[in-house]
Structure 1
Amino acid sequence: MPVAIDSTPANKPFADPRETPVWSLPLPSLDRAGDRLLVRLAASLALRQVRPIRNAERLLPAADPFILAVNHSSRREVVFLTALLMLLRGGRPVHFLADWNFRLIPGVGHLYDRAGAITIARKPARPAFLNRFRQAHAGPTTPYEAARRRLDEGRSIGIFPEGTVNGAADRLRPARSGAARLAIVCGVPVLPMGIRFAGTRDGGSRIDPSSPIEFVVGEPLHPPFRSERPGRLTVAGFKAQIMEGIAPLCGKGTAQS
């Protein structure tokens, strides 16, 4: 199965997707054969639904560290992105902030472990009896501290600024401030990414999560300056810039527009 990468000249760092199957791409950052197999299997499943990744060269490890800020339209895109980014980056992950209950899903939990996902243990699980496992998946530090440590170590992280799944076809939800604050505190760029679903339902008001998906990577957004304690207005201004960068990539309007 070919790798779903836009084969325009801008993406020449990658081999032609028509000639490079998932099972032949090197994964030098993954030492264990089982981990390589898991990533290839997950990526193969993702590519049944994912169309080419536009401007994928901006995701190469040479660009680390960065914050990948993505709109959040369905639950499956978290798994798809985790696997595809590891595949495209030679096994080097982008560490996504993800809800703890994903770790309860067989296979997905192991993929998150291998990708070094940053667990958010705030939301309750459904059904409720699963909440007894929540504390076991909580990290020793806050998600913010864990994300900052990875950025300080030169690694990249992924954040869904909307903070929850938003199936609306036309508008983003109001963003949380974590991506903007981390970028300013750590002095790293934000890469906006838009996720577009080809189909809609409910009269066009909701995305169809089973329809083909396209990932579009925008140009890096650099924080206005680096500051250990950025002011509220500074964070709010950069947060708005991030969401304005995501909006045209995913084909939605911002919450303010």
Structure 2
Amino acid sequence: MVKRFGFFVEDSLPKVPLHPEESRETFYGRIIISAVRTVMKAQDVQISIFGAENIPTTGGALFAINHTGYYDFILGGIPAFVRGKRLVRFMAKKEIFDTPVVGTLMRWMKHVSVDRSAGAGSMEDARKRLDAGSLVGIFPEATVSRSFEIKELKTGAVRIADSANVPLLPLIIWGGQRIITKDIERDFGRSHIPVFISVGEPVDASGDPDEATERLYEAMKKLLDETRTAYEQKYGPFEGGELWRPKSLGGGAPTLEQAKMLEIAERERRQAKRAAKVAKKRTTFIRKIFKK
């Protein structure tokens, strides 16, 4: 492995020219990326990238990224950056864009707002980005996988890639969940956490969306298994029971089935909280009317 732009890449990865437009973007390409690199350096997060040669140096492509933690939006863009300082426009839920400061930053970086109540519009926005030659990142599991296994995938990734006629590339992040994820204590210190990021070969997104999604699932699962195996060989053996490691490797994370139950319980709590908030507003409104 050799260092390139501050990250470890394979010796065989050829050097390529900087992207003529993306590498010159001031806000995202210089200010934000510089800030990310500074944070990574301060925490001494040791990032190794594999398969970056699968990323096109120009033109559009869609990354299907596994979701294990809250740093995935940062880590998922690094492989493209070492390919000529390319930038990834991530698909993120609309609620993030609705927040005053963060939403503005997201729009400046040209990320894609996902309104789950109007999925067709979000898919069209992503397709337009791809048609314009951008790289787009999507998390087909939709939410963080507490089990750190690949959950059931939504069909949006294959449908977007097929309609835009761009490569659909599986991208696996492993180790990022050790920094920050659900249900585990955060580690923002200088703890020298290693992270592996692997980019796979294109997956055929054509044909029946369910069948294409199954191909994507198998490709992501295989790449995840390979990446975790390499990680364990380089940094293990581990003691066992670590909350950031899956049950299948002897870790203490919940199984897929247990994680699904936790997700359902979390969803019910959020719904109950929203319902209570609506009820409170309704009660306040009625009281104001009667006071008049």
Q: TM-score range by the shorter chain?
A: 0.5 to 0.7
Distance in 2 (CA, whole Å) between partners of 1:56 and 1:34 is: 24
Q: Equivalent residue for 1:72?
A: 67
- Assess, with a 3 A threshold, how the Cα gap between structure 1 residues 88 and 14 changes in structure 2: closer, same or farther: same
Give, in angstroms, the shift of residue 50 of structure 1.
Answer: 4.7
The alignment's C-alpha RMSD in Å is 3.6
Q: Percent identity?
A: 24
The one-letter code of the counterpart of 2:14 is K
Once the two structures are superposed, residues 105-149 of structure 1 have per-residue CA deviations (whole angstroms, 9 ceiling, x without a partner) of 85x5555334311012449xxxxxxxxxxxxxx99x821110111
Q: Equivalent residue for 1:175?
A: 153
1:13 to 12, 15, 18: 15
- Assess, with a 3 A threshold, how the Cα gap between structure 1 residues 161 and 183 changes in structure 2: closer, same or farther: same
Give, in angstroms, the shift of residue 199 of structure 1.
Answer: 7.6
* Mapped pair 1:55 → 2:51: yes
Distance in 2 (CA, whole Å) between partners of 1:50 and 1:100 is: 31
Once the two structures are superposed, residues 151-196 of structure 1 have per-residue CA deviations (whole angstroms, 9 ceiling, x without a partner) of 2223221111101111213x21111000111222222221111111
- Assess, with a 3 A threshold, how the Cα gap between structure 1 residues 159 and 33 changes in structure 2: closer, same or farther: closer
Q: Equivalent residue for 2:36?
A: 42
Distance in 2 (CA, whole Å) between partners of 1:198 and 1:93 is: 20
- Assess, with a 3 A threshold, how the Cα gap between structure 1 residues 188 and 207 changes in structure 2: closer, same or farther: farther
Distance in 1 (CA, whole Å) between partners of 2:56 and 2:140 is: 22
* Mapped pair 1:29 → 2:22: yes
Is the Cα contact below 8 Å between 2:55 and 2:80 reproduced in 1?
no
- Assess, with a 3 A threshold, how the Cα gap between structure 1 residues 245 and 50 changes in structure 2: closer, same or farther: farther
1:113 to 107, 124, 148: 107
Q: Equivalent residue for 1:165?
A: 144
The one-letter code of the counterpart of 1:167 is R
Distance in 1 (CA, whole Å) between partners of 2:185 and 2:211 is: 32
Give, in angstroms, the shift of residue 7 of structure 1.
Answer: 2.9
Q: Which has the larger Rg?
A: 2
Q: How many residues align structurally?
A: 214
| Runs of 4+ deviating beyond 6 Å | 206-209
Distance in 1 (CA, whole Å) between partners of 2:177 and 2:131 is: 39
Distance in 2 (CA, whole Å) between partners of 1:109 and 1:4 is: 28
Distance in 2 (CA, whole Å) between partners of 1:94 and 1:213 is: 19
- Assess, with a 3 A threshold, how the Cα gap between structure 1 residues 207 and 65 changes in structure 2: closer, same or farther: farther
Is the Cα contact below 8 Å between 1:67 and 1:189 reproduced in 2?
yes
1:241 to 215, 232, 244: 215
* Mapped pair 1:156 → 2:159: no
Once the two structures are superposed, residues 181-215 of structure 1 have per-residue CA deviations (whole angstroms, 9 ceiling, x without a partner) of 12222222211111112887xxxxx9887453211
Q: Equivalent residue for 2:162?
A: 184
The one-letter code of the counterpart of 2:107 is D
- Assess, with a 3 A threshold, how the Cα gap between structure 1 residues 60 and 27 changes in structure 2: closer, same or farther: same
Q: Equivalent residue for 1:126?
A: none
Once the two structures are superposed, residues 56-98 of structure 1 have per-residue CA deviations (whole angstroms, 9 ceiling, x without a partner) of 1222433x3211101111122113334x356435554222111
Distance in 1 (CA, whole Å) between partners of 2:154 and 2:165 is: 18
* Mapped pair 1:195 → 2:173: yes
* Mapped pair 1:96 → 2:94: no
- Assess, with a 3 A threshold, how the Cα gap between structure 1 residues 208 and 52 changes in structure 2: closer, same or farther: farther
| Higher mean C-alpha displacement, 141-150 vs 42-51 | 42-51
| Higher mean C-alpha displacement, 51-60 vs 188-197 | 51-60
Distance in 2 (CA, whole Å) between partners of 1:121 and 1:162 is: 16
